Structure 1
Amino acid sequence: MPKVRAYGADATLKACREASYGVAPLSGYRSLDFKSTDLSSAQPLGDDPLLGRGRNAQDPYRGLITDEGQIDIPFDLRGTGFWLTGLFGDPMTAAVNASGSISFAANPSPGATITLGGTVWTFVSGTPSGDETEIQATVTQTLDQLVSDLNASADVEVAKCTYSRPTSTQTLVIVFDTAGPSGNSFTLAASAASVSGPTLTGGGYAHVWESGADDIPSYTIEIGHPKLTTPVFFRHLGTVMESINFEMGQEGPANARLQLVAQGEERFAATVDGSPDAVSLRRFSQGRGFIRRGGSALAGVTGGSLTFSNNLERVRVIREDGKIEAADPTFASAEGAMSVRFDGATLVAEAANGDPVALDYGFTFPEGYALRFELPRVFLPKPKYAVSGPGGVEASFDWRAAFDDSEGTMLRAHLLNDVTSYA
């Protein structure tokens, strides 16, 4: 039933990439999840009083139009890639094979089994037949024989993978032959060995964005109130994404805040697209977040934040409509903060010497899907810490990132999921 007042619970957000700046596409829109937004146009009033007309106020004049605002979004498995494309430009995308492993502490005993995709494979002391491997004199020799047997197997499930044993290990490595997310459902089990997980993980599509692109896309974004008695839809043309900021915590869902700059706002009584594309929502959690230094987990971290900005220049020219001509990216910047339990050693030497460190901020899912922001060259200040009571002491690092010549970028965003493309 139509409503006489607008409610956020009924609001919709649709967006589509523009072929030309400020020109709204007619179709191809995507419905996106959001928490809140204040994206809206404004045109202030100004005063230029004339003398000789008494003490009462005269008519004001209308100033320049600005159409800017923030939008709070969830970090989710699929929709996040849309926003990252707006911030950085098109990603590089490649299909990734799912993988896993089974580790053996000792030579398996006769009758021990491993299970691969539902197929039970047995270790035997005598001559093997079917889905069996003969136990050899040492565990590594047994695994080498197992690798040979598995790779030669005609079993439909076993043949879906390629098997190997890395040098100087007692581990069977399993890689699903078909790249993409399908391998994540291939099951693993072992009666007397340690499996990496109940299934293979990490299969999907790896999307990689890099900061510093010369050109980033613009979008038409529509914020609608379709359940009003008189529906209204605010269409923001020429929307460019300026910055993203997010906090790292210990619990709750992961969210981010984007700053948007649009050319102008138009009001309509009907939506631009009645059947937009949509993706199923699956949110990243703070409980599976991480901050790493040089690829290893950083101990004692209690919180953090990251801000990336394109530092847009609002191009103002003489126009009769008062709108901006463009929003062009200038220099890209990234900065953030970390709070760690002070131990007198963690990051202190790097901060004192001025040596850069490599940091990663990110979130994961159990099957290996992940969102990760890679910063190969980060500079730390001398930390500020305070002793405020008998409890633990924390140190705070407000860091800044810089361009890395060897990596060719300042910030690289990675998203592994089941979406084939964001181009």
Structure 2
Amino acid sequence: MARSLGARARLALGFETTYGTPPASGFIRMPFAPGLTVAAEQPLLDSELLGYGRDPLAPVKDAITADGDVVVPIDAEAWGHWLKAAFGVPTTSGTGPYTHEFQSGAWDLPSFALEKGLPEVPHFAMYPGCRVNQLQWSMERSGLVTATVGVIAQGEDKSAASQAGTLTEPALRRFGSFNGSVQRDGAALGNLVSAEITYANNLDRVETLRADGKIDGVEPGIAALTGNVVVRFADETLLQQAIDGAACELVFGYALPSGESFTLTAHAVYLPRPRIGIDGPQGIQATFDWQAARDPGTGRMATATLINDVDLY
């Protein structure tokens, strides 16, 4: 009897034309890291009936929930598909390399289908009607660069064979921590130890009564762009900004020597006034839990820019 192995698992993504209907072709093999939790779950409800003795009656099935996380590398090509799902279709310019600009605030977020395949069993689970609820990643001096993508799906359809067809496989060119940088108002943010970034669509499930147990859809709520920066306390620039209640622009980016790059620009970032404690004789650090808002000048909260040799997303 075959046993499923994570090393042989695969993940395929295909954008839908109609919500909840997986495409007949055009699926992409997506790279992913340990931590894939997208799945359907259906809990059991304990029987509340009395009068049948101390032993309980059979439980009743509750509603089905299909969602979870996908841990993915931030790279020069496949990452663009997750950006498209989170922000909407980008504006593309150039003739190679191409510049793809994703803007926050879009009402029309594309839906996609995910297929999680375990070929040894065989077990192939198709998740139609997926939308990205949030993207989250951190920046540090060293280590692998991955992001956690939160996904909400309409439901789950199981099959003994793949329904994704022939897969397109993007070239994998990963960004590393060494390639990362953070800028504040056009200048490098000094004394930076680490940073965290979370973009959330705050999706709302449309949970109507259906015979198949699936939801009717997911609708975007008020978006949020939040995170934190941890800095060695060497000057009062950020502290003074927090006290003044002023906004700044933060740009989180990665760039490869071959020319590919990814940047996320938070156009109007506000900082809270943090506690600055002394924990010992070592250097003192301060953590600023920032949040972004709509910038009156650009008319949006954030812009994600991906430069690569892909002509269209």
- TM-score range (shorter-chain normalised) is over 0.9
Structure 2: tracts of 5 or more residues without a match = none
* Equivalent residue in structure 1 for 2:125, among 199, 217, 234: 234
Per the TM alignment, residue 366 of structure 1 is displaced from its structure 2 partner at its CA by 1.4
The one-letter amino acid paired with 2:58 is: D
Counterpart in the other structure of 2:98 = 205
In structure 1, the partner of 2:7 is: 9
What SS does the corresponding residue of 1:220 show, helix, strand or coil?
strand
The corresponding residue for 1:290 is 181
Q: CA deviation at 1:389?
A: 2.0
Q: Distance in 2 between matches of 1:273 and 1:48?
A: 40
SS of 1:82's equivalent in the other structure is helix
Asked if 1:299 corresponds to 2:190, the answer is: yes
Paired position in structure 1 for 2:203? 312
Q: 1:30 is aligned with what amino acid?
A: I
2:289 is paired with a residue whose SS is strand
Question: What is the rounded CA distance, in whole Å, between the counterparts of 2:280 and 2:46 in structure 1?
Answer: 55
User: 1:403: how far off?
Assistant: 0.6
Q: Is the 8 A contact 1:336 1:400 kept in 2?
A: yes
- Alignment length, in residue pairs? 312
The equivalent position to 1:28 in structure 2, one of 26, 29, 33, is 26
AA in 2 matched with 1:401: A
The structure with the largest alpha-carbon Rg is 1
- Deviation, 1:252, is 2.0
SS at match of 1:351: helix
Shift of 1:251: 0.9
Give CA-to-partner distance per residue, 1:17-43, whole Å, 9 cap, x none.
Answer: 011111111111110100030100011
Instruction: Show the counterpart of 2:115.
Output: 222
Report the Cα distance in structure 2 between the residues aligned to 1:316 and 1:264, rounded to whole angstroms.
12
Paired with 1:366 and 1:249, the residues of 2 have a C-alpha distance of 19
Q: Is 2:266 aligned against 1:379? A: no
Structure 2 contact 115–164 (Cα < 8 Å) conserved? no
Q: Secondary structure at the match of 2:20?
A: coil
Q: RMSD of the alignment, in Å?
A: 1.2
Letter in 2 for 1:346: T
* Deviations, residues 121-154 of structure 1 (Å, cap 9, x unaligned): xxxxxxxxxxxxxxxxxxxxxxxxxxxxxxxxxx
Instruction: Report the alpha carbon displacement of residue 345 of structure 1 after superposing the two structures with TM.
Output: 2.0
Deviations 1:298-355 (A, max 9, x none): 1110100000000000111111222211111111001000011101323121011100
In structure 1, distance between residues paired with 2:192 and 2:308: 27
State whether structure 2 residue 291 is matched by structure 1 residue 400: yes
Task: State the secondary structure of the residue aligned to 2:7.
Answer: helix
SS at match of 1:264: coil
Q: Do the aligned residues in 2 keep the contact of 1:384 with 1:397 (CA within 8 Å)?
A: no
Q: Which residue of 1 aligns with 2:45?
A: 46
**Where do 5+ consecutive residues of structure 1 fail to align?**
96-178, 181-203
- What is the distance in 1 between the residues matched to 2:78 and 2:162? 21
Deviations 1:242-299 (A, max 9, x none): 0000001001221100100001111111112342111110100111101100121111
Letter in 1 for 2:183: R
Instruction: Give the letter aligned to residue 269 of structure 1.
Output: A
> Is contact 2:27-2:165 (8 Å) kept?
no
Q: Residues 253 and 283 of structure 1 are in contact (CA less than 8 Å); yes or no, is this contact kept in structure 2?
A: no
Offset, 1:221: 0.4
Cα separation, 2, equivalents of 1:363 and 1:278: 22
Of 143, 158, 161, which aligns to 1:267?
A: 158
Q: Distance in 2 between matches of 1:11 and 1:295?
A: 43
Taking structure 2 as the reference length, the TM-score comes to 0.97
Distance 1:306 1:233 in 2: 32
Displacement of 1:417 in angstroms is 0.8
User: For 1:45 and 1:355, how far apart are their aligned partners in 2?
Assistant: 51
Name the counterpart of 2:86.
Answer: 87
Distance 1:29 1:384 in 2: 48
Q: Is the 8 A contact 1:339 1:397 kept in 2?
A: yes
Q: How far off is 1:393 after superposition?
A: 1.0
Q: Is the 8 A contact 2:25 2:166 kept in 1?
A: no
Return the alpha-carbon distance in structure 1 between the equivalents of residues 55 and 143 of structure 2. Answer: 56
**Partner AA of 1:47 in structure 2:** D
